[in-house]
Structure 1
Amino acid sequence: MALTLPLELQQQIFSYLDPWSFYASRNVCRYWKYASRDAVTLAKQLGQLPIEPTTWAKKADSKRRESVYDEAARALMLGMRVKASSSSDSSLSSRLDKSKLARSKDGKRAVSLHDRTITHYDMSSSEPSIISTRPINDLRTAIGGGPWFKCSPTSMYELALSSDGRMLAIALERTIQIYDLSTAADSWPVASYITSATGHYIAALDFEHNDSLLRVQLSNKGVVVYLGSPQEGKPGLEHWQDKGGLKHAFLDASKLALPQSEATDSAPAVSQRLAGVQLLRPFAHGWLVAAQKHATNVQSGSYCLAHVPFAHIHGHVLTAERAVTILEHLPVHLSDHIQHLWHDLPAAHVNHPRFALSPNNSLLAMSENDSSNTASPHSNRVFLYRLPSAEKMMHSLKPQHPLLKSFESEQDFKYQIKRLPASLGSISGKLLDFTLESVHDGAASPLAVTAVTDTAAMSWTLLDN
């Protein structure tokens, strides 16, 4: 049919397409690709993409416009195809008949806390089997020294199970205990009162980075504290007993410093803070982190990629420094003329998002609780971002000398592509695990985002063009 249509008619059809349909159409065949390069057609499609400012397009030739379009199409994942599937297994809460649960990343181990009893399960077969049980260390069944939990029927515990199912962290209010489930039931846990949580309470726990760091989310406007110190190997209970363990704050997001915006005649200076911080990977003598960025007196914020440097304390224990560099802004608000095309965007006003980085460091999955869904308070929306290259992020870390700006060429087109996410879908229940990993072994294997909650499990396989 394409070869029978006049070129002018083909280009007229293109003018009515949204960005995703236009991208798919121009990759059908060489004739459609040629028709899509029309200056008017391409200019209209570029106008539908979040590229600012638009003044660069007036100086650019057709080849430059197409180059910018291809760059934007990749950053915005216009060719990404997603295949969603739900797990056929029954939910973890129904299989174990318990409400307070934690799960290992491989799904082979699970733990429940019920009636002051910790039960360790083997989930590798269709029917869960009990590996061991032990009492929780509280004032009524104290094991060794404190701090103990002050248990009551209404106690709101938070649980986290290590990736191999061996270490269990339990939090209540501002106290954390870590158990080695491979030891005897009467063995002592490592316990500590978390001074960073004073005045608030612990809202969630997660083991991260080879189980050597414990991500502690506080009720204080999305403040996150990382306890422990990063290691390459799998640490045991002795790691949490050491000076770089449970009593060591590797990173306290409340102490991170963002630059304040400059005051103008029309607006005062605005201070900024990070919420929901999550360490992604070591990067440039520090860590690459994902977080929400909030400004003073603004209800909703945005997401961002940032760099946090670290320093050595006492020779070998690492701790994060306060200085933060924003490497990439991930906005959630757009201009009115294109907002309707990207209507399903994150809210960025929730305090506890979860992130997952792909093995090749090119994609970032994000789950945020949908607080607007009053019918299902534990409803999570899942999104996917394309990350900039490591070279581009390194360039953002290098300061540019002010004198260099005067030597910039008039032909050096300045523009910025706002990296918006693709909406994958949603899943109900309290999030237990969130990953972005290869489906099979091998470099050619597609990636999949997997979200597991206490009531369901979903997987989104990514087929990237």
Structure 2
Amino acid sequence: MSSARIGTGTLMVHALGVYSMVTYQPDALAARVSMDNLLERVLTVHQTAMGATRLPLELQQQVYSYLDTRSFRAARNVCKWWRFASLDAVTLARQLQKLPILPPVEARKASPQELQSLWSEAANTLMLGTRVQRLSDLPSSTSAAQKMAFVAGPRVTSTTNGTRTVTINDRTIALFDVSGEQPKVMAQRPLNDLKGTVGTGPWLMATTTSYYELALSVSGKLLAVAQERTVQIYDLEAASDSCTVNVNVDGAAGHYICGLDFEQGDGVLRVRLSGKGAVIYLGTPRVGHNSETASFEHWKSNAGLEHTFLDSALLDLDAGGKTSDHTARLSGVQLLQPWQQGFLLAAQRHGGNESSHYVLGYVKRGVEEELITAEPQSVTILARMESFLSAWDYTLNGKNESGMGLWENMPSAHEHHPTYTLSPDATMLVVAERDKKAIRPVPLTQLFLYRLPSKQRMLKMLHDSATRGKGSPIDLSSFPAKSGAESGSRNHQLETVAERRHKVARIPICLSTIRGVVNELRFERVEQDVGSADFKLTASTAEALKTWSVADV
């Protein structure tokens, strides 16, 4: 009997491999069938000569117990017979116990319908049906400049499309067109430092060892230069003796500027500071201007370089308004996109008696003295994205080999300046985190892919936050995300905290570890004539463009 059972089980596993490529849309009625009603089981699923239903139901469920969670999800979507066999409470509980879910799932304490709903949520949150494929590398945006002997360094920067390059050499700023076979000088002008002051200060210091941070706008017309706490913006198309826009960043007291980025249609300048991942946004986002990018006149106005749109040090995460040594704070903040009269942002959360982790948040934009600014008291956490330490309780609970199973390679969320990008449908977030230890001879960067809550879930969070009063943000990241193909008719059903028994950790997929610093991340929707992938992710480094295809299957 034992040998016959093993032989039949082997045949069934082989059948799973054969039929796993068949797609099937689950029958909503079958999902509601009670596993306790034996008569209904017999009437709904009867044994036939087909290979898919030849095995007894109990033996098919026994085979399921040997599958990992990804294979189990693929197998149960082959046909309605295999899906029916997977609806057994014990079968679902065994698979759920392998996932980072707290408290641990027990079949005797939950109904089959509750287990099915929890499985759908876990499969979507943990991206068990997401297929990621590495594509061929492409030349980087700086490869054309490097072929023309422009050495990558702190005094050389290029546009994202690689057609323009700016260098600073002995106090001279030079703009080159590198789209052809030979570089062409488009403009030259001196630095506005203490050796040759133009207009009003503050000016840059003039020393032989001066270190600059550079940022070139998308259009290649604007150049931002930072030194210590001073920022200047140059109009590269203006005359060489034209005035610049200068500012001394007051919020950078006690720090120095370690990075610059033009964002939101060149309307804001993301200023990264050296201490504790602090970030300051100067300027005003180009909300409602479609694809129009900001001009030099924008940066000269009151809404330009002298206006602080957001200061991460002022963002308030304490609902009670109290301050203590354990107050939570955000670092490495980056604006993602406009959303609901405000902005979605990604950041690291530290303190608050919790391990550091990543979060997706929302900040409302307001008007102060006729200038648009972010309201520090309006921060709402929409999703908690786990790091290695913050997910410790979840991952050690999983009944996989070595305890942590498939989630041993996770981000650390250390105090640094990561890079984020949002998928076009705002369902996934990519985090590029630099390795804190491996920095020589070449720094390493790890890429992680997170699943985000559905739009309906995030809107519900904002609504609940608003009902509690302005200036009292609440962390509603414990709400489940009902989205994805497996959610069926309950795709956007919103539950309350009281109705929720289990929490599914939002753990990422580690895409890869790449050489160099990621200068830019792009998440684009793929047209139908390019394979079967839904999205294409591109990470730009000084060496190459690394690409992946991402699809929900």
The bucket for the TM-score relative to the shorter chain is 0.7 to 0.9
Q: Within the alignment, does 1:369 sit opposite 2:434 as a pair?
A: yes
Q: Within the alignment, does 1:387 sit opposite 2:457 as a pair?
A: no
Match of 1:82 among 132, 146, 168: 132
1:310/1:319 contact within 8 Å kept: yes
Q: Within the alignment, does 1:253 sit opposite 2:303 as a pair?
A: no
Specify whether residues 25 and 445 from structure 1 end up closer, same or farther in structure 2 by C-alpha distance, changes over 3 A only.
Answer: closer
**What's 1:270 paired with?**
326
**What's 2:31 paired with?**
none
Larger Rg: 2
* TM-superposed deviation, 1:6: 5.6
2:152/2:542 contact within 8 Å kept: no
**What's 1:418 paired with?**
505
**What's 1:405 paired with?**
none
Q: Within the alignment, does 1:148 sit opposite 2:203 as a pair?
A: yes
Mapping 1:57-456, distance limit 5 Å: 58-89=108-139, 92=143, 94-95=146-147, 96-100=150-154, 101-125=156-180, 128-231=183-286, 232=289, 233-259=292-318, 270-295=326-351, 301-332=356-387, 333-335=391-393, 336-338=396-398, 339-376=404-441, 378-399=443-464, 412-440=499-527, 446-456=534-544
2:65/2:94 contact within 8 Å kept: yes
1:261/1:270 contact within 8 Å kept: no
Specify whether residues 334 and 259 from structure 1 end up closer, same or farther in structure 2 by C-alpha distance, changes over 3 A only.
Answer: same
Specify whether residues 242 and 54 from structure 1 end up closer, same or farther in structure 2 by C-alpha distance, changes over 3 A only.
Answer: same
Specify whether residues 360 and 409 from structure 1 end up closer, same or farther in structure 2 by C-alpha distance, changes over 3 A only.
Answer: closer
Residue identity in the other structure for 2:392: L
Q: Distance in 2 between matches of 1:442 and 1:122?
A: 33
Specify whether residues 409 and 114 from structure 1 end up closer, same or farther in structure 2 by C-alpha distance, changes over 3 A only.
Answer: closer
**What's 1:51 paired with?**
101
Q: Distance in 1 between matches of 2:519 and 2:327?
A: 33
Q: Deviations over 1:20-41 (max 9, x none)?
A: 2322333345554344333322
* TM-superposed deviation, 1:425: 0.9
Residue identity in the other structure for 1:83: Q
CA RMSD, 1 decimal: 3.1
Q: Distance in 1 between matches of 2:270 and 2:528?
A: 29
Specify whether residues 80 and 312 from structure 1 end up closer, same or farther in structure 2 by C-alpha distance, changes over 3 A only.
Answer: same
The residue matched to 2:340 in structure 1 has which SS?
coil
Specify whether residues 248 and 283 from structure 1 end up closer, same or farther in structure 2 by C-alpha distance, changes over 3 A only.
Answer: same
Greater helix share, structure number: 2
Identity %: 41
Give the TM-score normalised by the residue count of structure 1.
Answer: 0.88
* TM-superposed deviation, 1:225: 0.5
Specify whether residues 326 and 58 from structure 1 end up closer, same or farther in structure 2 by C-alpha distance, changes over 3 A only.
Answer: farther
**What's 2:30 paired with?**
none
Greater strand share, structure number: 1
The residue matched to 2:415 in structure 1 has which SS?
coil
Specify whether residues 124 and 23 from structure 1 end up closer, same or farther in structure 2 by C-alpha distance, changes over 3 A only.
Answer: farther
* TM-superposed deviation, 1:361: 1.6
Residue identity in the other structure for 1:259: D
Q: Could you list the runs of 5+ residues in structure 2 that have no partner in the other structure? A: 1-13, 16-50, 399-403, 469-494
2:331/2:347 contact within 8 Å kept: yes
1:98/1:114 contact within 8 Å kept: no
1:260/1:270 contact within 8 Å kept: no
The residue matched to 1:399 in structure 2 has which SS?
helix
1:260/1:269 contact within 8 Å kept: no
Q: Report the count of equivalent residues.
A: 455
Give the TM-score normalised by the residue count of structure 2.
Answer: 0.75
